Chain A
Amino acid sequence: MKNIVGWIDARFPFSAFIKHELTDYPTPRNLSYWWGFGFLAGFVLVIQLVTGIFLAMHYKADSNLAFDSIQHIMREVNYGWLIRYLHSTGASAFFVVIYTHMARTLYYGSYRRPRELLWWTGQLLLLLMMATAFMGYLLPWGQMSYWGATVITNLFSATPFIGDQVVIWLRGGFSVDDPTLTRFFALHYLFPFLISGAVIIHLVALHTVRSSNPSGVNLADRDNIPFHPYYTIKDLFGLGIFLLAYFAIVFFKPDLFIDVSNNIPANPMQTPAEIVPEWYFLPFYAILRSVPNLVGGVVAMALSVIIFAAMPYLDRSRITGGAKYRPVYRALFYVFIVDIFVLGYVGAHPPESLLKLVGEVATGLYFAIFLLLPFVSRWEENKLLKECTLPPAVQEMARNEIRGSHD
């Protein structure tokens, strides 16, 4: 064994890589389980890749055969039902994990200098993941698949001047049809590999700036511990908990995330009584509906996803860490989380009078929180520094930071 590794090491930096990125890689000693969701996301990506490749061996990307090939997978393919439920549940699990990962970043201010680029590569991953999930949802060729794809491709008609041509180009026809299905399948197979590439970039950025930690204080070398074995074990324990929940759904409630309308084959002549996107798009969908104008709605929805990238600049406080030492920021964070759940509820229901109003208020609040943050964060910084209630080290760090920015 030693000889083999030695042979490889003389030709490829295998042991050096393991040492540098794993057994010697310095990690803050105080990371909580909230820091385990990046690993979980990587694990779910592997589940999706593996189950997806095996599904593709039995699936037929043809508008006449697609719906029936899903039935074939469910009834006749050995363990086809299992592989498909692992994949469909995995999509939702992926979003649960990624949204939690993002919420942790927002709460602890992990997006702040010097981790801007790390945060942005994460944003890119989110966009790729949303595109992949959206295209994958068309493949079963059910009613909800078909009409979801119709509505979302139609959003591009908001493009100035060439909107209609763009929509026809995206669909490869005058409506969502066979050409749309085949290209969505091709891209749904391609995108996970782009995601894998972006994950590597995300990890290189992470290992350059290192992990943030719950205290928000930049740790000295002696406060770091090697990633392996400490965090491999911690991550694996977290994985065990995650898999309990994941398999509980796969085995006991596998249709939880599958809309009943999708058991009806796609029919271009009949829209289902109510169109609801997958749960992970609901808040953004509610924002789209809350603006009483097509272009305005599309712009607001796009902005609601992209605006996260501005966080390193919107948060102007120089007090270290995110919400831990900043009560006002913490309150804003919780209001924001509640607002997202409210938007999700609104997005899942028909826009009747009261809910419509709630949606509009929640949409306004969503953007107001982002736009007020530059002022609120600076105001809170002044307040906290004047009150002198911060721990001395945190106070000192903030003062140094402020002095540094004046140089």
Chain B
Amino acid sequence: MCTHKLNDVDGPRRDFLGSLTAAVAGAGAIAASVPFVSSMNPSSDVLDKATVEIDIARIGIGQEKTVAWQGKPVFVVHRTAEEIAAMESSNGGKDPEADQNRVQHPEWLVVIGICTHLGCVPNKTAQGWLCPCHGSIYDNSGRILSGPAPKNLILPPYHFVSNDKIMIGKAS
């Protein structure tokens, strides 16, 4: 009688201890994988190259300069008066956004030069940009007009240090 009772109590108890051990082992395995997974994220020296300062005095009206920021191309465009007027009068295409919300000074457009589709670098055209990979077309405000890209060209955080200097990577 005594043993019978013991078995009854012991069974579920042992099952519980068994599952508890498995759970602890599982949690331990997950915890042990954290350093390895984390080691594949950007290292601190990569994160360190967070900002870049650019002299924009030499970029003439209608010209574009491509600068590297965090290993990515950033397009800095000195837009003409006609381009500004055309951009301000439209809201773009698929991903409508006012031009005013995309620039700090209307004559300077600063966008990350990476197609929002699969990350190619679009080439400059008179109309804006054309991505050579899958044919996405952007206007002179970096807004997507047609093609497979879902979003407008992304704006990096940046601010004007002075009238002819901007810092990319920091908003203010």
A interface vs B, CB < 8 Å?
147, 150-151, 153-155, 168-170, 172-175, 177, 179, 183, 268-275, 289, 292-294, 297, 350-351
Contacts and interface: CB of A to CB of B under 8 A. Distances in A.
A187 to B, nearest CB: 11
Interface of B: 37, 40-43, 46, 66, 68, 70-73, 117-123, 131-135, 148-150
A294 B43 contact: no
A185 to B, nearest CB: 14
A275 B133 contact: yes
A174 B46 contact: yes
B131 to A, nearest CB: 8
A350 B136 CA distance: 12
Contacts of B68: 268-269
A366 B29 CA distance: 42
Contacts of A177: 46, 71
A292 B71 contact: no
Contact of B40 (A169, A175, A268, A273): A169
B40 A155 contact: no
A175 B121 contact: no
A174 B120 contact: no
Given A151-B119, A269-B68, A293 B150 contact: yes
B132 A274 contact: yes
Given A175-B70, A270-B121, A351 B134 contact: yes
A403 B167 CA distance: 77
A134 to B, nearest CB: 14
Contact of A175 (B41, B71, B117, B122): B71
9 contacts: A173-B42, A173-B46, A174-B42, A174-B46, A174-B72, A175-B71, A179-B46, A270-B121, A297-B148
B121 A350 contact: no
A229 B41 CA distance: 53
B148 A292 contact: yes
Contact of B42 (A147, A153, A179): A179
A168 B131 CA distance: 22
Nearest to B69: A174
Mostly helix, strand, loop or mixed at chain B's interface?
A: loop
Contacts of A179: 42-43, 46
A104 to B, nearest CB: 34
A173 B72 CA distance: 10
A172 B46 contact: yes
B126 to A, nearest CB: 18
Given A168-B42, A271-B132, A293-B150, A147 B71 contact: no
B132 A172 contact: no
B152 to A, nearest CB: 14
A151 B121 contact: no
Contacts of A168: 41-42
B120 A151 contact: yes
Contacts of A271: 120-123, 131-133
Lowest 9 CB-CB distances: which A-B pairs, in order?
A175-B71, A154-B119, A174-B70, A271-B121, A271-B120, A151-B118, A154-B118, A150-B119, A275-B133
Nearest to B112: A174
B99 to A, nearest CB: 24
Contacts of B37: 169
B43 A150 contact: no
A183 to B, nearest CB: 7
Contact of B120 (A147, A153, A289): A147
B41 A172 contact: yes
A272 B72 contact: no
Contacts of B131: 271
Given A173-B46, A175-B71, A175-B72, A275 B119 contact: no
A179 B118 CA distance: 20
Contacts of B41: 168-169, 172
A228 B143 CA distance: 66
A174 B70 CA distance: 6
A174 B118 CA distance: 14
Contacts of B117: 154, 294
B71 A173 contact: yes
A154 B37 CA distance: 19
Contacts of A293: 148, 150
Given A151-B118, A274-B132, 9 more contacts: A150-B120, A151-B119, A169-B41, A170-B40, A174-B42, A174-B46, A275-B120, A289-B134, A294-B118
